[in-house]
Structure 1
């Protein structure tokens, strides 16, 4: 028999238990979402139903949130600066007998001890319109302008250039990097279409090749054509033709000593993390010279 806080559902012929998780923030809630999903990933058989409440800054707003928590009991994670709201939330959660965790408290407390300083919390402090914020905006503007081989004459201004055949996630990976403040351009490798001369001439950016298995690319391309109501057979989805495209990409990267990343089984986040590691290693090597 399942408890009141858990229910069973069938997903792809497998029974999964789902549970409610309430994410309460006085800011955008991005921190909570990241922490919650990272933790939930450790329990594959359990499926979280997320209830996200952003910009909770008044007792009236908190009251509405608590009504939702009472109606759907589950784990409560929060980031609230206001002491009054924190106390009210923790008190009500104890009454409802649901776990209630301030996710930043252990880290903030450790920093206070290590730095021998008192915390000075400010709502949304991580989203201040400072130089870092405007660096990210500049990176986003550059990345959008240099998507899919556009404006190749200014490729050397990029921090990272992604090279690969169609459907190797170049654009979403570029956008993810841009949101981290990295100017990322991407250039497609297209059969019988010459690459821009500025690509191999570029010296400032880290140039990375993206590849995947022919089967994976063919599947994604076929789904793309179906979504466009174009399901006829073309070289675009032919595995042999795709294999030739991938061989050309590998040769290009080998000739120029550019690193390659196989994205077949990687998420966008994992691909971006690998690129950031390569960029960090490159910067370290250059600083050591």
Structure 2
């Protein structure tokens, strides 16, 4: 069986090119016997290309490449043609077809797919973080969070945490109750990343009554009484004053509006 050597040349990590090569090789050699596939990632100069072509010639390898920049593709094609080395351009022909179809110029920027993947995984990580450290479940999360939300019950802490998580912010939230001391970690974090959420007593009374009814409970429970709500809000102000954090009134605000306000403040403080 004749030996086969394939060099995968890429301006990114080369994973796409390698997977395509493996798919093709498997049609001839399912067990990849007597086959070597070698990646050359992050190729970004003419010298790199010249060196790879020289090695390919010495080792009788063929070259498969995924290069986003047209200039680099042409350079590699010319070098391979000069040295009589078989080469396959995986991206170039498809880029040309797309360019003609939509009449737009390509960005010619390496690694864009992996940047999107990285962004996706950051979002997933942030969502998992928000779930793990929701409702004060583990105070240790406060020291790891990008954003900390504090407020009395029913001030949209959880939906706001999830919305911010989809913007790739790691969010922890803490409910404030007069009978329970806030976690000490809350007073150790940078107050600039902590936000107190407050709501008018009248609005909160209405929200809590609706919540009780939805749960099949009597809407005159102490949870929804004005006296209790006033007590909780007074406790809230004592805590946020001690923290020294920003207070945002969410009474007539959508979650998106509050989130955008927080994001703007966080970015300004960086």
Alignment of structure 1 residues 122-161 onto 2, 5 Å: 129-161=116-148
Aligned match of 2:235 in 226, 243, 248?
Answer: 248
The residue aligned with 2:88 is: none
Task: Look up the SS of the partner of 1:130 in the other structure.
Answer: helix
The 3 A distance-change label for structure 1 pair 142 and 277 is same
Alpha-carbon distance in structure 1 between the residues aligned to 2:113 and 2:211: 38
Tell me the TM-score normalised to structure 1 length. 0.54
Q: 1:253 to 1:85 in 2, by over 3 A?
A: same
Alignment correspondent of 1:266: 253
Aligned to 2:151: 164
Name the structure 2 match of 1:208: 195
Task: Judge conservation of contact 2:192–2:269 (CA < 8 Å) in 1.
Answer: no
Q: How far did residue 144 of structure 1 move?
A: 0.6
Residues 141 and 172 of structure 2 are in contact (CA less than 8 Å); yes or no, is this contact kept in structure 1? no
Decide which structure has the larger Cα Rg and report it.
2
Q: Does 1:198 align with 2:185?
A: yes
Cα distance in structure 2, aligned partners of 1:82 and 1:170: 45
**Partner SS for 2:178:** coil
**For residue 184 of structure 1, what is the aligned residue in structure 2?**
171
C-alpha separation in 2, matches of 1:253 and 1:216: 20
* Superposed counterparts of 1:74-89, under 5 Å: none
State the distance in 1 between where 2:234 and 2:107 align.
55
Aligned to 1:13: none
**Residue 235 to residue 84, structure 1, CA distance change in 2 (3 Å):** farther
1:236 maps to: 223
Q: Which runs of 4+ in 1 moved over 4 A?
A: 81-86, 125-129
Q: Which digits, 9 at most, give the CA deviation of each residue in 1:221-258, with x for residues without a partner?
A: 10000011101522210112101211211221122210
Q: Shift in Å at residue 202 of structure 1? A: 2.2
In structure 1, distance between residues paired with 2:162 and 2:131: 8
Is there any run of 5+ residues in structure 2 with no aligned partner, and where? 1-96
Structure 1 gaps, min length 5? 1-80, 87-108, 113-117, 284-289
Rounded Cα–Cα distance in structure 2 between residues aligned with 1:126 and 1:222? 48
Distance of aligned partners of 1:257 and 1:204 in 2 relative to their CA distance in 1, 3 Å threshold: closer
Q: CA deviation at 1:203?
A: 3.5
Number of paired residues?
A: 171
Equivalent in the alignment of 1:219: 206
CA shift, 1:155, in A, is 1.3
Q: 1:229 to 1:126 in 2, by over 3 A?
A: farther
